[in-house]
């Protein structure tokens, strides 16, 4: 049976006033068999320092009874910390794969076997035909391997930037604001 995994997105312009109750609820959700991650994005210039407590990156979230969350299910991101949307997107989603993995591992959920659609095709080839095929394959030009794909190859670009490709298929970036080019994505550090 397939499982569904949910992501709750909360966009807030202020801090949580009932932190104790919120921590209790998050720990309860994390310790139940609930397929959920929570992403909280803080917008505006409020003091979001208390919100980091909900993100279990620094040793785990503990409720008012002293019980720790079995898994980290919260990612808090203050929007004003990022100048480019691509940076915000990356930071917002970066923990989701680990949170999903921790869910399936915590509850011993095995992946479903891939459906097999097997078609058996039988054919016969004479020695002469096999020799002819082999000769044709040997005459083919040597294949050039494609450059490795990076997460930056499809990342959004800031305004005024363009992604172009050289004769070997390698991406480079053109800054039309300054007229300069570079090999690395503008947001890549």
Consecutive H or E run containing 137: helix 127-139
151 near 77, Cβ under 8 Å?
A: no
Which residues lie closer than 8 Å to 164 by C-beta, 6 or more apart?
A: 171, 172, 173, 174, 181
Residue whose C-alpha is closest to residue 8's, from 109, 76, 108: 76
Consecutive H or E run containing 30: helix 19-31
What span, in angstroms and rounded, lies between the C-alpha atoms of 98 and 108?
Answer: 15
Q: Which two tokens stand for residue 21?
A: 């109750």
Tens digits of per-residue pLDDT, 32-61? 888 999 999 999 888 888 888 888 777 789
Only one residue has tokens 């991650």, namely: 37
Of 125 and 108, the one with more pLDDT = 108
Q: What is the pLDDT of residue 142?
A: 45
Q: What is the pLDDT of residue 144?
A: 43
Tens digits of per-residue pLDDT, 135-160? 555 554 444 444 455 667 777 888 99
Q: What is the pLDDT of residue 115?
A: 63
Residues above pLDDT 90, as percent of the chain: 33
**180 - beta bridge partners?**
175
What span, in angstroms and rounded, lies between the C-alpha atoms of 12 and 80?
Answer: 12
Consecutive H or E run containing 161: strand 161-165
Consecutive H or E run containing 103: helix 96-106
Residue 112 has pLDDT above 90, yes or no: no
Number of other CB atoms surrounding residue 146 within 10 Å: 9
What span, in angstroms and rounded, lies between the C-alpha atoms of 177 and 2?
Answer: 49
């Amino acid at each position: 049976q397939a499982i569904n995994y949910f992501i709750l997105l909360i966009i807030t312009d202020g801090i949580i006033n009932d932190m104790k109750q919120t921590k209790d609820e998050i720990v309860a959700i994390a310790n139940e068999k609930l397929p959920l991650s929570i992403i909280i994005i803080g917008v505006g210039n409020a003091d979001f320092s208390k919100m980091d407590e909900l993100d279990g990156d620094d040793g785990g979230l503990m409720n008012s009874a002293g019980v720790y969350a079995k898994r980290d299910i919260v990612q808090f991101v203050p929007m004003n910390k990022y100048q480019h949307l691509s940076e915000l997107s990356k930071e917002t989603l970066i923990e989701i794969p680990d949170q999903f993995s921790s869910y399936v591992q915590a509850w011993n959920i095995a992946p479903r076997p891939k459906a097999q659609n097997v078609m058996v095709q039988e054919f016969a080839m004479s020695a002469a035909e096999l020799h002819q095929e082999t000769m044709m394959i040997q005459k083919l030009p040597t294949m050039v391997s494609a450059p490795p794909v990076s997460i930056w190859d499809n990342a959004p670009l800031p305004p005024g930037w363009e992604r172009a490709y050289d004769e070997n298929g390698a991406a480079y970036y053109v800054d039309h604001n300054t007229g300069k080019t570079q090999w690395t994505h503008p947001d890549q550090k």
